[in-house]
Amino acid sequence: MKSAVITGFVRSPFTLAGKGALARVRPDDLAAQVIRGLIGKTGVAPADIEDVILGCAFPEGEQGLNVARLVALLADLPLSVGGMTVNRFCGSSMSAVHIAMGQIAVGAGEVFVCAGVESMSRVPMMGFNPLPNPVLAKKSAAYMSMGETAENVARQYKIPRAEQEALAVTSQQRAAAAQADGRFAGEIVAIAGKAGTVDRDGTIRGETTAEALGALKPAFDAAGTVTAGTSSPLTDGASAVLVTSEDYAKAHGLPVLARIKAVAISGCAPEVMGLGPIVASRKALARAGLAVGDLDVVELNEAFASQALACIGELGLDRERTNIDGGAIALGHPLGATGARIVGKAAQLLKRGGGRYALATQCIGGGQGIATVLEAVE
Amino acid sequence: MTAEPIRKVCVIGAGTMGAGIAAQVANAGVPVLLLDVPARDGDRSAIASGAVAKMLKTEPAPFMSAAAAKLVEPGNIEDDLARVAECDWVIEAVIERLDIKQGLYAKLEAVKRADCAVSSNTSTIPLAQLVAGRSEAFRKSFLITHFFNPPRSMRLLEVVTGPDTDAALAGRIAHFADVGMGKSVVRAHDTPGFIANRIGTFWIQLGINEAIDRGLTVEEADAVAGPPMGVPRTGIFGLVDLVGIDLMPHLKDSLTATLASDDPYQAIARDIALIGNMIARGYTGRKGKGGFYRVNREAGKRREAIDLASGEYRPQAKPPPVRGVLKALVESKGKLGEYAWALLSHTLAYAASLLPEAAADVVAIDDAMSLGYNWKAGPFAMIDQLGARYLAERLAAEGRAVPRLLALAGDRSFYRVEGGRRQFLGLDGAYHDIVRPEGVLRLADIKLGTKPLLKRASAALWDVGEGVAALEFTAKMNTLDGEVMALLGEAIPLVASRFKALVLYTDADNFSAGANLGLALFALNIAAWGEIEKLIAGGQAAYKALKYAPFPVVGAPAGLAVGGGCEILLHCDAIQAHAELYTGLVECGVGLIPGWGGNGEMLARWQAAPGLPRGPMPAIARVFETVSVATVSKSAAEAKALLFLRPGDGISMNRDRLLFDARARALALAEGYTPPARPEFRLPGESGRVALGMAAQGFHKRGLATDYDMVVSDALATVLSGGGADPAETVSEEQLLTLERETFMRLLHEPRSIARVEHMLETGKPLRN
């Protein structure tokens, strides 16, 4: 079996939905610019790309049809390159990476662009026409709002509000420090929009204090503990990683960030979907033959502080090694784009810090978890 | 009148009045440059832009729409004064200081175009003084336009021209102020305080003096000087609280300085120690810590009133019952009757003495007081209620001067109806027709000369000329009942056979408060379910008959048009609305849902709305969002955004022009009219209902919706999503009406709905159960 490696990672700036600088940019244009940026940065020969696998959680409207193919055309990739849209909600673009890894393993291609996009400004969560199945709605929490599931996790794990807020403050401070140190510069592709070029994240609030967060009203449940400050904001953004066979990377002199060692998916109860990373991570680590203690880098998507804390606790993650440059509470969570971002980020951090193993994992609406274990390439 | 349009206006002075005037110009759709002095540091136009920002947070809102706010461009008089050259009208609303105003005019003269009008919003400084030292060309372009606060809602505009003012230019400004800004223009002469404030200040000062001297409480004084005199409930003390007690000394100083020494106001003007103390302690009225009345938050929001003798607050007392007939009131014995006579006799005599000094005729004075102080009847209409001779004789008997005008009237009244026309007594001793400006049509005037075509207990049908009939509602608050529906049924064949079009219109302040809930509750209490269902079905049928009638129907609402009053408008071919329109489907607030076809009409509008994504949900979700929380528009412009009005519907800024404009719109539709096609709906059925329920659940969890809101919104969701509909099939208008009616009846059987209805009837406020 051929092994797959990450040979590039870029993303657009992440900006707040509705009022952010990317709110007037079509998601297909956004993704196309990011993919162009990835090709420019890695220098990969476009004709070698087998497929563009693009994750999107609400693939309709401007991110509808087979948006992956449309983005490939918008990015002026050769007509020979394919395009496939993947939907696993928040796990979409991490699944894109998993698919590429599988394709490489079975010899069905050498080079894959694994990307993700979500304009939460232009396509609302739930889409334009939410039509839940009444039978399922009655018998399951499949359609429960994400905020409610975060409250459920907070209650089940007895996570006090102050603890959630402390995590949010850390996330904001780390992201602000990374931004100030220019640590995002290498991954961000400047996006041309109607009102000029956007080259900076618009979501980070480095000045956030626990005191200010403490003054916020609960966002989802009047009697709850989850606020807008301890939730990831609605965000516009796109991300992309280049996944190639290890052989191809070597043959073409592409600098390798990390090897994909193991992956996993697991389902869980929809009403506590935030716990998804626990079992998924355990499965992936077991497949990699690793223990949590072996990890040098963890990217755990912060959909909500409550679920992130529950996962950190259950998995026994080292908080100093988790979300080193901040998480989604600070950076935002453009649903379809987050998976590729955290896989790319984990690979980048592994390289940057000289670590050996990394884990990227996230929860998924409807009750799933997804995880990817990466390994440094000597 | 074909006056040259006003394309751009500059307002100088971004205080409350200047900013409010700028907002109203913007509400008229005209761009405005709003200038103030430059800020000391930072953005030099910060004072003007700050005023705009403040207005965007003010309630009631000075702007009628977000689009209007964008028409105001802030600037400062040092950097931007030259841009006055872009403007057709400059309105000066700076501080009331002659030297400052004169200095500004000198600068303006250098930059303004010759055909650009300059007007001052001064309330106290005579025009002659303002233009002293200016060129003839400037004097030709100058006039006074005195707006009232707040400029959006106060309809009076006093216009004062000088001997040199160009009549055509003044006419152009008056026309824009009338048609564009919706103001009723009253021509006043160049005398101190003009009309409304001169009489109003006299009345307030006298009312306070007399109350103190006669030992009345503020509650007693306001009970007399309020509704029994056709004056708003605030009376005198409540009014002063509203406008600001600190304004009183300024008004007094200004008037005593400018009025003749023998003016009766000089005799009553006095400094009142209590008022001085109140101002010093920050009790400047509602904008301050409180005024003659206050809400004591330290005592559990207790309502209190000031003791006029001691200056101490005490719990507010229930006002005494005061009889409503004016003459009986001034003849009644005791301190209340004596107070009424003292207040009224002096005020009315004062008003009668101001002609011709302050205005050309009694109509100008009465209009100024009804529009500027919201008096139901102006001074001369009030004199007619007492009788001019009665007033003259009683004044004479008390040894007081009898104004010449009262003697001239003798046994005659100041107003009369002759040959179907309303007339007023001129200063020449003869009666003259009251001539309405072109484009002004009042149903009240029409009624003087004709009988209704049809009449029932709560509605009537009138011939309003040009082949157009008008249907008016006549019940209290123009509520709707079976009688209205029956009259609609009778009106349709009559209009079809004899008229070109129908207008729904009423002169009343409010178009309609919706279905008569009191009547409905009575029927509920005796469990007359059959009767109620008949009323619902009858209303549905009547509204649809109106919609598909062989002639165009134009709704002409002003003020409140809610519930069933909104639903009838939704069935019209077009709307000509007054700019001040507060419309919405508010049924959920009383535990019900729209029952007279409003659901289908709103769905059809949103489904046809451009810019909405396709599929069964977006339109339904928008209607659900709007109706489930009983959204009411805060202007006609906002009603358009909510699709209670269609994009092409008309808006009349001036209330007096509404009927005329609606009639013209109806006639424009009459040629080649064909009734609308019946809509068909593609609705999601049960899954749509679940989706809407999930959204509502979120509000419930956040504590923004009550338990019973969930029941009511589920009923609404059931109707909007088509009940058991399948998105692969269509739902007819008739099927949707049946579903609406059945769902409505189901809610009526819910005790918590009935509790909501009862609570609304008792308190006027929604019950949040």
- Helix H, strand E, coil C: the string for A214-282 is HCCCECCCCCCCCEHHHECCCEEEEEEEEEEEHHHHHHHCCCCCEEEEEEEEEECCHHHHHHHHHHHHH
Model confidence at B526, pLDDT cuts 50, 70, 90, reads: confident
At residue B15's C-alpha, the angle toward residues B10 and B20, to 5°, is: 65
The token pair that represents B316 in the structure block: 């507010």
Residues of chain A neighbouring B616 (CB-CB closer than 8 A):
129, 131
Q: How many CB pairs under 8 A join A and B?
A: 54
- For residue A199, CA distances in Å to A189, A208, B651 come to 7, 22, 45
Confidence category of residue B1, pLDDT binned at 50, 70, 90: very low
Is residue A39 a contact partner of residue A355, using CB atoms and an 8 Å limit? no
Any bridge partners for residue B584, and if so which?
B562
> In sequence order, what E strands does B22-112 have?
32-36, 72-76, 89-92
CA B281 to centroid of chain Cα atoms: 34
Residue A177: count of CB within 10 angstroms of its CB? 15
Q: What is the pTM of this model?
A: 0.91
Q: Looking at the domain assignment, is residue A139 inside a domain?
A: no
pLDDT at B68: 97
Domains and CATH numbers, chain B: 9-187 (3.40.50.720), 196-416 (1.10.1040.50), 443-586+632-676 (3.90.226.10), 589-631+677-769 (no CATH)
Answer yes or no: are the C-beta atoms of A139 and A258 closer than 8 Å: no
Whether B728 and chain A come into contact, CB under 8 Å, resolves to no
Q: Where are the beta strands (DSSP E) in B408-477?
A: 415-418, 421-425, 431-433, 454-456, 459-463, 468-473
CB contact under 8 A, B617 and A145: no
Interchain contact, A130 vs B698, CB within 8 Å: no
Which residues have a Cβ under 8 Å from the Cβ of A313 and sit 6 or more positions away? A157
d(C-alpha A193, C-alpha A238), whole Å: 14
Query: A220 lies in a domain?
Result: no
What whole-number distance in Å separates Cα of residue A241 and Cα of residue A347? 10
What's the pLDDT at B2?
57
Q: Please tell me the least confidently modeled range out of A102-116, B217-231, B244-258, B626-640.
A: B244-258
Percent of chain B at pLDDT > 90 equals 90
Predicted local distance difference test score (pLDDT) of residue A51: 98
Residues in A closer than 8 angstroms to B721, CB to CB, are none
CA angle B576, B578, B580 (to 5 degrees): 145
Q: What's the pLDDT tens digit per position in B233-252? A: 999 999 999 989 998 888 89
Beta-bridge partners for B731 = B681
Residue A301 resides in a domain: yes
pLDDT in tens, B46-104: 999 999 999 999 989 999 999 999 999 999 999 999 999 999 999 999 998 999 999 99
Residue among A128, A219, A224 minimizing CB distance to B618: A128
- pLDDT 10s digits, B289-342: 999 999 998 888 899 999 999 999 999 999 888 877 899 999 999 999 999 999
Structural tokens at position B172: 């152009």
Strands B454-456 and B431-433: unpaired
Question: Which of chain A's residues have a Cβ under 8 Å away from the Cβ of B691?
Answer: 126, 130-132
Q: Is the Cα dihedral B538, B540, B545, B546 positive or negative?
A: positive
B466: left (phi over 0), alpha (psi -120 to 50) or beta: left
Polymer length of chain A: 378
Nearest CA to CA, how far is A224 from chain B (Å)? 9
Positions of chain A with pLDDT under 70: none
d(Cα B377, Cα B380) in Å, to the nearest integer?
Answer: 8
Could you tell me if A218 lies within 8 Å of chain B, comparing CB atoms?
yes
Pairwise CA distance, residues A6 & A348, whole Å: 9
Helix, strand, or coil here: A162? Answer: helix
Tell which residue, A186, A232, A259, A240, has the closest CA to residue A362: A232
B196 within 8 A of B158, measured Cβ to Cβ: yes
Among A121, A131, A216, pick the best mutation site for testing chain B contact (most B Cβ within 10 A): A131
Q: Dihedral angle at the C-alpha atoms of A113, A118, A122, A123, nearest 10 degrees?
A: 110
**How close is the nearest chain B Cα to the Cα of A126, in Å?**
9
Question: Closest Cα of chain B to A221: distance in Å?
Answer: 4
ipTM of the complex: 0.89
Q: How far apart are CA B193 and CA B196, in angstroms?
A: 7
Distance between CA B521 and CA B515 in Å, rounded? 11
Q: Is residue B180 very low, low, confident or very high in pLDDT (cuts 50, 70, 90)? A: very high
| Inter-chain residue contact B687 with A222, CB threshold 8 Å | no
- The backbone region for B574, taken as left when phi is positive above 0, alpha when psi lies in -120 to 50, beta otherwise, is beta
Task: Look at residue A240 in the predicted model and tell me its pLDDT.
Answer: 98
CB within 8 Å: A221 and B687: no
**What single string gives the DSSP state of each residue in B724-736?**
T--TTS-EEHHHH
B150-168: pLDDT as tens digits:
999 999 999 999 999 999 9
Do the chains contact at A222 and B701, CB–CB below 8 Å?
yes
Contact call for B613 and A61, based on CB within 8 A: yes
Contact B386, B326 (CB under 8 A): yes
Dihedral pair phi/psi, residue B9, rounded to 5°: -125, 145
Looking at beta carbons, which pairs linking B298-307 to residues 24 or more positions away fall under 8 Å? B305/B217, B305/B218, B305/B219, B306/B218, B306/B274, B306/B278, B307/B217
DSSP string, B152-187: TT--EEEEEE-TTS-HHHHHHHHHIIIIIT-PEEEE
Q: In whole angstroms, give the CA distance from residue B613 to residue B619.
A: 9
d(CA B505, CA B655): 12
Neighbours of B454 (CB within 10 A): 17
**Cβ-defined contact of A130 to B617 (cutoff 8 Å):** yes
Residue A57 lies in a domain: yes
Q: Give B-chain residues touching A145 at CB under 8 angstroms.
A: 694, 697-698
Tokens read off for B13: 């002075």
Share of chain B above pLDDT 70, in %: 100
- pLDDT tens figures, B331-349: 999 999 999 999 999 999 9
Which candidate, B254, B264, B216, B251, places its Cα nearest to that of B237? Answer: B216
Q: Looking at residue B323, what is its pLDDT?
A: 72
Asked if residue B466 has pLDDT above 80, the reply is yes
**Is A350 part of a structural domain of the chain?**
yes
Rounded CA-CA distance B723/B740 in Å is 9
Residues A222, B618: C-beta atoms closer than 8 Å: no
As a whole number of angstroms, the distance between CA B616 and CA B288 comes to 52
**With contacts defined as CB-CB under 8 Å, which chain A residues touch B613?**
61, 128-129
Residue length of chain B: 769
Classify B330 in phi/psi space as left (phi over 0), alpha (psi -120 to 50) or beta.
alpha
* Residue of B412, B394, B402, B389 lying closest to B350 (CA atoms): B402
Number of domains in chain A: 1
Question: Which chain B residues are within 8 Å of A62, Cβ to Cβ?
Answer: none
**Domain membership flag for residue A190:** no
| B321 in contact with A, Cβ within 8 Å | no
Mean pLDDT of chain B: 95
Q: What does DSSP assign to residue A77? A: -
Does residue A168 belong to any structural domain of this protein? no
Asked if A134 lies within 8 A of B694 by C-beta distance, the reply is no
**Beta strands B468-473 and B459-463: pairing type?**
antiparallel
Q: Using CB atoms, pick whichever of B615, B691, B727 lies closest to residue A132.
A: B691
Q: Answer whether residue B494 shows pLDDT above 60.
A: yes
On whether any CB of chain A is under 8 Å from the CB of B616, the answer is yes
3-state SS of B613-676? CCCCHHHHHHHHHHHHCCCCCCCHHHHHHCCCCCCCCEEECCHHHHHHHHHHHHHHHHCCCCCC
A61–B694 C-beta distance less than 8 A: no
Query: A329 near A302, Cβ under 8 Å?
Result: yes
Domain that holds residue A50: 4-124+234-373
- A146 contact residues in B (CB cutoff 8 A): none
CATH number of the CATH domain containing A361: 3.40.47.10
The whole-angstrom separation of Cα B86 and Cα B79 is 14
pLDDT given for residue B320 in this prediction: 85
On whether residue A227 sits in a domain, the answer given is no
